[in-house]
Amino acid sequence: MPPRLQLQQGEICFDPFMKPTLCLLTLIAGATLLLGDRAQAGEVTAPAPAKAVVATGDFDPPHLEFATETAYLLSFIGNPNNYEIGAQFFTGRLRWGVNREEHSIFRGYNQVYLLAMAEPIFRGPENRYFGISAGFRHVFVRPGWRLQPYASGGVGCGFIDSTDQFRNGQGQDFTFNILTQAGVDYLINDHWKVNVGALYQHLSNAGQTEPNPSLNLIGPQIGATFSF
């Protein structure tokens, strides 16, 4: 009888301690399950920070450029004289329109330009030509490329020191010109780039004299450009 009584007394003394403990453990387990369920549902965990999106289709074309270019031109087609001309161009270009379409072959930007030219004539009846030209230029921009192909074309006018007709020289001093260029720019940094390309030039007085021995010239060119 006494052991039984002691056990009962032990149970009576132990129960007040066990009940709060069991309740506390039950609450902790329930809270853990509840929070786990909510975390799986995406209600508790904070959203992961969004990754920065790089706009691969974006680029920053220059607003204004000044360029100097040098060319060496040889005559072909239409004139019996074998002209050799050195051409020096000074050009200002203004951006006019941008194409940012990622998959377009014309992705890049347009420019309008005004160009002044000075051309010593190394071989031919005349000695020099001075003129101006205005036109349009398109620069092709590909993502991540430092090389940027370009093409341009324009028309203008100028003066050549025309000579006697029996040497098949130009018929008069005042002369029109057509100028086209194609090549590639290489970007050195945000402000400077160099270019190499090919140039075609046509000189003629548009039939104001008869005969009108026009000139067709072609040759390589190199240049440097400063951009804003």
**Does the predicted model carry a pTM greater than 0.85?**
no
Average pLDDT estimate for 64-88: 94
Q: Kindly give, in sequence order, each residue whose CB lies less than 8 Å from that of residue 206, ignoring residues fewer than 6 positions away.
A: 176, 212
**Is 27 found in the same domain as 120?**
no
Q: How distant, in Å, are the alpha carbons of 9, 17, 19, 119 from that of 6?
A: 5, 17, 20, 124
Domain range holding 138?
Answer: 64-227
The residues near 68 (Cβ < 8 Å, ≥ 6 apart) are 88, 89, 90, 91, 223, 224
- For residues 128 and 24, state if they share a domain: no
The pLDDT tens digits of the residues spanning 107-146 come to 999 999 999 999 999 999 999 999 999 999 999 999 989 9
Please state, in angstroms and as integers, the Cα–Cα distance from residue 94 to each residue in 67, 70, 110, 113, 228, following that order. 12, 20, 8, 6, 10
| pLDDT mean over 28-32 | 56
Q: Which of 9, 26, 51 is the last residue of a domain?
A: 51
Q: Quick one: average pLDDT of 20-33?
A: 54
Dump pLDDT digits (tens) for 141-168: 999 899 999 999 999 999 999 886 667 7
Total domains present in the chain: 2
Q: Is the pLDDT of residue 26 over 90?
A: no
| Spatial separation of the C-alpha atoms in residues 110 and 138, rounded to whole Å | 4
Shared domain for 85 and 124, answered yes or no, is: yes
Q: Does the residue 59 lie in any domain?
A: no
The CA distance from 167 to 126, in Å, is: 10
Average predicted confidence (pLDDT) for the chain: 82
In percent, the amount of the chain with pLDDT more than 90 equals 59
118 and 11 part of one domain: no
